Structure 1
């Protein structure tokens, strides 16, 4: 049975939610398994916070990580500062926030605040102001769990459910029937305002289309349904893999009705993470294979959606069947980069879906496009990629960070 604390055990604005008993319980679960004028809309992944050229040589990355220096692993969210110097790049931890369990996805808001979501099956969401060290927490109700990702809905979505504030969209699972849903939440209070079905199980990453695409209106919500059945009492354990039904869905921005649904021929390829190329109107999808045998190690890790068809990239090598995250590639030619932590490399693909090369980097997972650069994280190492090089360039860490382990995602801040 999946044990949960009462929802009123800790208030959503409690600044110190990490009592020893709750921390122990949450870790056990994880291992066993304002108006719009004030807050405004966020810059989504396709906005120019990610497309800007790096003029100063420095960058900031909103990230999550684990600190393994002590006897008990501690989870953190925070902002990394990367600086260019005479002898190359260095990085350090700037602001940080202690987390009760592992974090996963992050969304930047227009006023500089950050929203982090717990890794699935998660029970917390936090809006954090790094400059003021203020955190506002929300805890999931008993019969739902967070699935690790959050974005800001379009203005049409916000107007439909709330006339005074931006709306956050979170991927969630109904623990009673394993069906996926989108939580529509007030961006200031984090209170759930409405809920839309995702027409599939195990929804993971989601994004909002910045402009109309064929018959899909601007603001359309694109969701990757991972398709893996689970039970509430088993946490992250996967059940009934033979019943997998992954899909990519498009939901209307005003009422969440289904506008389209696409599937790959192989139902054991879970659709997980998304990257949007606004210039070419292409979506890159990182896949994670769930086959029972050696077929998993040879399974493809990347697919492309052009608004009409969902298709696998061509010429993919064997990369353990696991794409950790995906990002648009730097450079004028476009394309996509998929991190492959189980194969210790990044895999690069052209805009038309052809495999190009791999670049070795140990335990690499989080990726962030920064104009003409790509930042990648592997273990405790920060890597810098430029389009003309076939290798990555390490930034030296400032301070003792040898036991730090970056988690799946980070975002340019």
Structure 2
């Protein structure tokens, strides 16, 4: 009862905040089209408070990136999704207990869903092609097993759930090239890192790690395939398709006990639909990355993995050959607009980050002191 009361109080406070300040920077339409404005749905932290919102900028070097609209949320947000009606979905970082649908720039109240304690959100959500259903990665608080929650997009209520055949399920994505009985299939990354409900994100028994990629039937959740890496201490986490949708890139996070082994670990794996392989990073570069790949993206120029511990973006050709590390302090969120990679850092963000001369957007006054979280998505 104490938890339920706290949630109700928190929710009431957030509703008040939404009414007072969520549209502080928003015009009548949060997606107002003027002079090619770029909008990015993002999550961030500022002085201990957490937010989701829309950031905006104009094309061209030196144009500031500004907060366009914002909503305070109870804890750190992680994955975001923009639905066809312009609403933004965000879910809490794992293990999380909230999911919100928000209409930036409109007077509609944010729609909240709280977990009941039996499940926790794992930070990512996708939608069906028609936007009617949502799919969230979740973990059973008692057993640690992971599930895909299938939800009604209008009510956010669960209408079905499917096992992911693993633990620590993280990002999921549609595999539109592979169908099963006419249904699209879903790829889920099981991170494989054991944790316990009473200790939250504290990792334990890492020698039992079991990370995998699974393919599920998009209508029934039936398991259609499962793939593992040889190195069991590499956690498969974030996903991005190549522009031709033939290859899936997966950002890796190393969990080795030995520091030297962890620092030499790769941060990119590629999946062609039948086989899963790691892509090596040059040893001199890998030492600075420390085995930690953040967000994942792909453009015609190749693969990109944000590496905040190296203050740069690891870039590879589309075949997986090393290109270089693009410097950007505390970079993490990546998004693709057209053929250009947008990367968010601390104090500035990059447009066309894989180019010889990326375009820099300094963070504007209302974005100063903000630490961008793992992900952002194009909302223009």
TM-score (norm 2): 0.88
Partner residue, 1:296: 262
- Residue 407 (1) aligns with residue 373 (2): yes
Q: Which residue of 1 aligns with 2:27?
A: none
Task: Look up the match of 2:58.
Answer: 83
Shift of 1:148: 0.3
Quote the Cα distance in structure 1 between the aligned partners of 2:235 and 2:8.
35
* Cα deviation, residue 372, structure 1: 2.9
Instruction: Tell me the CA shift for residue 141 of structure 1.
Output: 1.5
The unaligned stretches of length 5 or more in structure 2 are 18-32
Other-structure match for 2:293:
323
Question: Which position in structure 2 is the counterpart of 1:363?
Answer: 330
Q: 1:14-93 maps to which residues of 2 (within 5 A)?
A: 16-17=13-14, 57-68=36-47, 73-84=48-59, 88-93=62-67
Q: Distance in 1 between matches of 2:6 and 2:368?
A: 38
The Cα of 1:401 is off from its aligned counterpart by 3.1
**Partner residue in 1 for 2:26:** none
Write the deviation string for residues 287-343 of structure 1: whole angstroms up to 9, x where unpaired: 0000011211111100000000000114444121000010013x4xx4210000011
- 1:212 deviation in Å? 2.7
- The residue that corresponds to 2:86 in the other structure is 112
Given that residues 15 and 136 in structure 1 are in contact (C-alpha distance below 8 angstroms), is that contact kept between their aligned partners in structure 2?
A: no
Q: Give distance in 2, aligned partners of 1:400 and 1:127.
A: 24
Residue 180 of structure 1 corresponds to which residue in structure 2?
A: 146
Q: In structure 2, do the counterparts of structure 1 residues 223 and 216 end up closer, same or farther at CA, with 3 Å as the change threshold?
A: farther
Flag structure 1 segments of 5+ consecutive residues without an equivalent: 21-53, 156-164
| Native 8 Å contact 1:7 1:139 kept in 2 | no
Deviations 1:210-245 (A, max 9, x none): 2336x7965201000000111100011011111000
**Is residue 2:273 matched to residue 1:311?**
no
SS in 1 for 2:207: helix
CA distance in 2, matches of 1:255, 1:206: 16
TM-score by length of 1: 0.81
Offset at residue 9 of structure 1 (A): 5.2
Aligned equivalent of 1:248: 213
- Alpha-carbon separation, structure 1, partners of 2:7 and 2:263: 44
Q: 2:309 aligns with which of 339, 342, 349?
A: 342
Which residue is equivalent to 1:279? 244
Q: Identify if the C-alpha distance between structure 1 residues 304 and 136 changes in structure 2 by more than 3 Å, giving closer, same or farther.
A: same
- TM-align CA RMSD: 2.5
